Homo-oligomer: A and B are copies of this chain.
Amino acid sequence: MKLKEIADFVKGILTGPADLEIIGIARIEEAKPGELSWFSHPRYKKWLSKTQASCVVVLKGEEGIPGVNTIKVENLAIAMESLLLKFYPLSPMPAVGISKLSAIGKNVKMGKNVSIGDFVCIGYETVLGDNTIVMDGAYIGNKVRIGNDCQIHPNAVIKEDVFLGNRVIIGSGTVVGSDGFAYNRITTPEKNGDYKYKRMPHRGGVILEDDVEVGANSTIDKSVIGNTIVKKGTKLDNLVHVAHNVIIGENSILCAQVGIAGSVNIGNNVVIAGQAGVPDHITVGDNVVIAAQSGVTKDIPAGITVSGFPARPHIESNRAYSLLIDLPDLFKRVKKLEEQSPPRRDVPCKQQ
């Protein structure tokens, strides 16, 4: 594609030679002549002038860079999305139809254009909407409801009584609808204080609403009664744990290895960064940001950014954690102050 064609394709303004041929897309620090790149994250500012890319797509408003060809666009993300798909089209989806190497239970209902891969199991009375794809090796239990345009990736597991909306994506190895971790301690009076744990029956379900997407090897547990719910548009990364009875609002983001304990209630537009944890029965308000590795210990009101353990408003927490490294020095300073003090106490001024 020539630069002019690309600029037209993304409705951008070209500064550079119209007929320069572009053969591929690469990251700004790796691009070679003949390749197109883009500039988004400020960390890569220095690469704007150093890049070998033949042209850089930038946001309208970005200053021109002398000697660098640019295409300025209204929406960088959308422009790059369409260019990536233009240069590197997606592989064709699995052929529509039901593999002969699958095992489909009784009374399964399927919409139009459903695709079922090899070695897939589907339990009885399960419903799959139009255009939904269940990839090789995935397991879907009994009485599951899956909407339209969903993708269930290889070796994912969706257990009984799970409900997925439309356009839901479940990554490889992810388990949805496993029994929650709720045990009762049963004492055995004859054995004087001895006890054992007995699991509560988990007779509830899991609801993942429209446009929910879950990465690889995450786990979402079902409830004792009622539903574990993830609302519209919320995205979960890899190795995320969502316990039984949790409710997560709309358009929220849970990054990799985040853990949400039982009966937690999370609002809309929340961002929880990697490895952070929220203990059971906590409420997290709308628009909250929880920084990476935070350990939440109490309810968080709407709109707050928290960090640290115990998680506190980020500005204060950050200030406190920055001083941690100076603690040995502080102890020395206090010791010195104490050493200066005692003699004065012995000979106080006012007694003179």
Residues of chain A whose beta carbon lies under 8 Å from any beta carbon of chain B: 25-27, 30, 41, 43, 77-78, 80-81, 84-85, 87-88, 90-91, 99, 101, 103, 117-119, 121, 135-137, 139, 141-143, 153-155, 157, 159-160, 171-173, 175, 178-179, 181, 183-186, 195-201, 203, 211, 213, 215-219, 221, 224-226, 233, 235, 237-239, 241, 243, 245, 251, 253, 255-257, 259, 261, 273-275, 277, 279, 281, 292-293, 295, 308-310, 312, 316-317, 319-328, 330-331, 333-334, 337-338, 340-341, 343-345, 347-350, 352
Chain B minimum-CB-distance residue to A320: B327
In the bound assembly, the distance between CA atoms of A217 and B309 in angstroms comes to 26
A-B contacts, 7 of them at CB < 8 A, read: A135-B139, A155-B155, A259-B275, A320-B327, A323-B331, A333-B338, A337-B341
Max chain B C-beta neighbours (<10 A), residue from A141, A154, A292, A337: A154
In the complex, the count of this chain's copies comes to 3
Chain B minimum-CB-distance residue to A343: B350
In the bound assembly, the distance between CA atoms of A341 and B348 in angstroms comes to 11
> In the complex, which of the residues B77, B293, B343 contacts A184, with contact meaning CB atoms closer than 8 Å?
B77
Q: Decide: A225 and B277 in contact? CB cutoff 8 A.
A: no
In the bound assembly, the distance between CA atoms of A321 and B334 in angstroms comes to 17
Q: Decide: B219 and A219 in contact? CB cutoff 8 A.
A: no
Q: Decide: A310 and B321 in contact? CB cutoff 8 A.
A: yes
Minimum distance in angstroms from A214 CB to a CB of chain B: 11
Minimum distance in angstroms from A60 CB to a CB of chain B: 15
Known: A181-B215, A337-B341. 15 other contacts (CB 8 A): A84-B203, A91-B142, A99-B103, A119-B119, A119-B121, A121-B154, A173-B219, A181-B235, A196-B211, A215-B221, A217-B217, A241-B257, A316-B325, A337-B337, A340-B341
Q: Decide: B349 and A181 in contact? CB cutoff 8 A.
A: no
Minimum distance in angstroms from A304 CB to a CB of chain B: 14
Minimum distance in angstroms from A1 CB to a CB of chain B: 16
